[in-house]
Amino acid sequence: MKRKSLRISSSAKINLFLDVLSKRSDGYHQIRTVFTEIGLADIINFALTKKDAIKILSDIDFVSTNENLIYKVAVFIKDKYNVKFGVEIELQKNIPISAGMGGGSSNAASTIIALSELWNLDLSRTEMHKIAENFGSDINFFLEGGCALGENRGEKINYLKQIELDNIFLVNPGFEISSKEAYEAVSLDGHENDNWLELIEHENIKWCYNKLQVGVCKKYPEIQMIIDHLLENGAKQAMLSGSGATIIGFCPDRATADKFSIYYSNMGYWNYITKTKRSAK
C-alpha cells in the first residue's frame, strides 16, 4: 500500500455575537451566535498506515489519547465504516486550549474531512455533519468555515456573507475556562438580544455581544480588567471570546494592535494579531 498523507490547517473561530436564550431539557443551552473563522490555526498532519491503530503525536502534553476529540472522532469513524487501515495524526497546537476559540472542535472537523479522504470513504457533507453532531456543538460550523449564524446548541448552521475585520487582537491570561463553567455562570433573564440582526446587516463591531461575559468576569475579574484596558487604550470594541478566557480587542489599525501585543507580551500573556478568514466557498 502506498503511504498517503494530508496536511490540514485547522482554523480557530471567534464569536462576534453570543446570546444564551434558555436551558434545554438535555442539559445544553439554547443559543444564538455569529461565528467567524480567523487566521489563527493548528496544523494537523494525517498519514495512512497499514497497522490497524490510531496514533496521535503532539507538541504539547494535553493530548490524552482516550479523551482527545481527534482520537474519539477517528475511532468513531473507523468503527462505523469498518475501516481496516490505521492513521498516524501529528498535531501542532497553536490555538490555546479551553480558550473560547473552538480549537478542539476545529481539530475534530479537520479529522472528519481528512479521514473521509485518506480512508476512501467519500463521505457526503450530510454524513459529515451527522458525525459531527455526536461530538460537540461547534464542529458543524468548522466543516464549512467562513462566517455563520449558529442556533439551537450552536449546531444548526446558516452561512452568512463574511464580515471582514482586520487588526483583531487576541490575548489570553493563561488560565482555562471550560464551556460548562461559563454556561453555569450565565444569568438567564428571558431577554433576547436582537443586535445580531444589526451586526449582520451593517457589519459593525459596535453590535458585538457575549451574554457569557458578565458571569465569567464576576468569577475572573482579571478578564474584565483586560477588557477595560483595551477599551481605554485604543480598541474600538473589546469582549470575551466564546466561553473565554481569551479576550478580543478590535483595533482601528495595526499600530494599536502592535502596542497591545508588546504590553501583554511583557506581562507574559499569550497574544496574537489576526483577521477574519474568508471561506473558500
- Amino acid identity of residue 81, one-letter, is Y
* 132, containing H or E segment: helix 125-132
Question: In 207-273, which residue ranges form alpha helices assigned H by DSSP?
Answer: 212-219, 221-232, 254-266
> Is 131 within 8 Å of 119 (Cβ atoms)?
no
Radius of gyration of the chain from its Cα atoms, rounded to whole angstroms: 19
Cell triple for 274: 489576526
28 CB-contact burial (10 Å; exposed 0-12 / middle 13-18 / buried 19+) = middle
138 is an active site residue: yes
Question: CA 87 to CA 78: how far, in whole Å?
Answer: 10
Question: CA 40 to CA 272: how far, in whole Å?
Answer: 8
Mode of pairing for the β-strands spanning 5-23 and 209-210: parallel
Question: CA 120 to CA 214: how far, in whole Å?
Answer: 47
13 is an active site residue: yes
Choice among 72, 78, 138, 211 that is catalytic: 138
Question: CA 17 to CA 31: how far, in whole Å?
Answer: 10
> Is 78 within 8 Å of 54 (Cβ atoms)?
yes
Chain-centre distance of CA 154, in angstroms? Answer: 12
As annotated, the active-site residues are 13, 138
